[in-house]
Amino acid sequence: TERVWEATVVPALADSGISYVMVDDYHFLCAGAEREQLNGYHTTEEDGRRIDVYPISEALRYRLPFSPANEAVAYIESLADETGSVGNTPAAIYFDDIEKFGIWPETYDWVYGRGWLKDFIEGVLASQVIRSTHIRDHHRETRTRGVVYLPTVSYSEMGEWTLPAPAARRYSELVHAAQHEGVLERDRPFIRGGIWKNFLTRYPEANWAHKRMLGLSERLASLPEGQVRQDLVELLHESQANDAYWHGLFGGIYLPHLRRAVWHAMIQLERRLDGLQARPPLATADIDLDGREEVFLTSLALQAVMRPDKDAALIELSSYPLAQNFADTLRRYEEHYHEKAKQGAAALKEHGGEGIASAHDVVRFKHEIKPEDLTPDTRTRGLFAESWTDFEQKLPVEYATTFVQGGAVLCMGEAGKTRVAKVYSVRDNLLSVALKTVGNGRLSTRLNIAIPCCDGVAGRYVVNGEVPGGFGQSFTWDALTDLGMEDHYLGGAIRLRSSVPTRIKVQPHHTVSQSEAGFEKIMQAIELTLIWEVDGPFEVNLQLEVAALAR
């Protein structure tokens, strides 16, 4: 992508036959270049492999299509006075997202209905100094401006997005202070935020998917040459679609269908790799680099992964026949722009002059957002996170010890003075979880199950052979031992069984993020809470059965 840069990509690009790429001009400014030098391409290298790099004009990105067409044309004409290198005419370099021309708010009417595009094209064609050309032709007809070495950097907007909310607020304060003092354009390259990879620390869900993808890439690369099929390579490439790993102004990791597409490809790839090189049914490895070894329980149909932190919850539950990770959800995180949702209309910036406001400056609400919708999660959104209530005090069960034995995982935890044991095992398409404790109080466990249809019409609960409603609704059932969850979009179902009658509360789990239409609530998962009254020794055996629906 043009928005981020690491020099380590140069050899891979050069070896792939790519001779030039586009990146934001901010990258060049961070290397100490002056704006007047950024009217053509430069050359860089890494390990002796070279590639040419074009700087995309930030000034043009913010003018097209938001400024009036005549002003945008006049600005481009003003660049003709800049000095090019010997034998080169100055170039105004533009490369940007097509959604700004009709998908972003107000842009369709502005670009097409009110004639911006027509006026802009006619203005360019009528100009005596502007000559439009494809980048391919410009590269063939001109020479490099010289050598450049770009730092590891993300463009300025992403530098803010990739920071945790408190740091992002401080960064924003520095930018606004520099703007108020009139030195922002001069000093912006030296007021830097984070880099793209910080998203992998901001969102553990992205980090887990990223490290799983790298592991599969390594497995694929280790195959004998004759076994590396094109379908395997294509599935790996599909799992690397970067939109699902980060979040900026809109969407990204907050969109379940993007994450699902990545996991869909990874699970298919893993299943095919297992067919070539079988794995043991139980394995441990520190995949996410947190210093603890995750536990993988695997059958031909199902894989459950337990992270041995204080929750000892499942962070992955993948069905190979359905190519679905039922633990693929997202916690509620604090985003720096949530402050705008709290302020409401007061956060609106006034747009002066002609043209339209950029989506960066617009505050809208697609859904009603309440304060509790913005409260960050303090615990995992995986499957099987326990709590203990004693004398109306609810405490999380915190696990400190994990044992792997006999094809199962035993976790020992405490909540105050109450001890809880949890055992995971997998057989065929069945996940079994046993909970044991002794005490007087209330034991509960929370599961967040990612269902592709979310709150759509294709999803429904099944209780005692009847359908009370869909996944977008909230229900409470008492003394239940069997609950079905059917997703006809996926073509699969989960059946939950309990050896002890349980009270079950279900509700949709939502997050709040920005979209082109404004702040919106997105359903990420079904949240199930199972509750038992305990008086003395207690044991319950739970089973999750994952299967395809009959067609």
**What residues are labeled active site?**
2, 97
What are the beta bridge partners of residue 4? Answer: 154
Token code pair at residue 75: 């600005």
Token code pair at residue 197: 């990879």
Q: How many CB atoms lie within 10 A of CB 542?
A: 19
Polymer length of the chain: 551
Contacts for 348 with CB less than 8 Å, ≥ 6 apart: 362, 363
Give 358-395 as a DSSP string: -GGG---BSS---GGGGPPPSS--SEEEEEEEETTEEE
* Helices of type H across 306-419: 338-343
Q: Where are the beta strands (DSSP E) in 152-310?
A: 153-154, 282-285, 294-298, 302-306
- How far is residue 337's CA from residue 254's CA, in Å, rounded to a whole number? 14
479: left (phi over 0), alpha (psi -120 to 50) or beta: left
* Helices of type H across 329-478: 338-343
Contacts for 255 with CB less than 8 Å, ≥ 6 apart: 243, 244, 522
Token code pair at residue 147: 């050598």
Task: Specify whether the CB–CB gap between 20 and 54 falls below 8 A.
Answer: yes
- How far is residue 468's CA from residue 295's CA, in Å, rounded to a whole number? 36
Token code pair at residue 486: 């059917």
What are the beta bridge partners of residue 446? Answer: 385, 529
Contacts for 510 with CB less than 8 Å, ≥ 6 apart: 373, 521, 522, 523, 524
Task: Specify whether the CB–CB gap between 13 and 52 falls below 8 A.
Answer: no
Task: Specify whether the CB–CB gap between 416 and 395 falls below 8 A.
Answer: yes
Task: Specify whether the CB–CB gap between 432 and 519 falls below 8 A.
Answer: no
Token code pair at residue 74: 């006049």
Does residue 525 sit in helix, strand or coil? strand
- How far is residue 77's CA from residue 75's CA, in Å, rounded to a whole number? 5
Token code pair at residue 190: 């030296």
What are the beta bridge partners of residue 45? Answer: 50
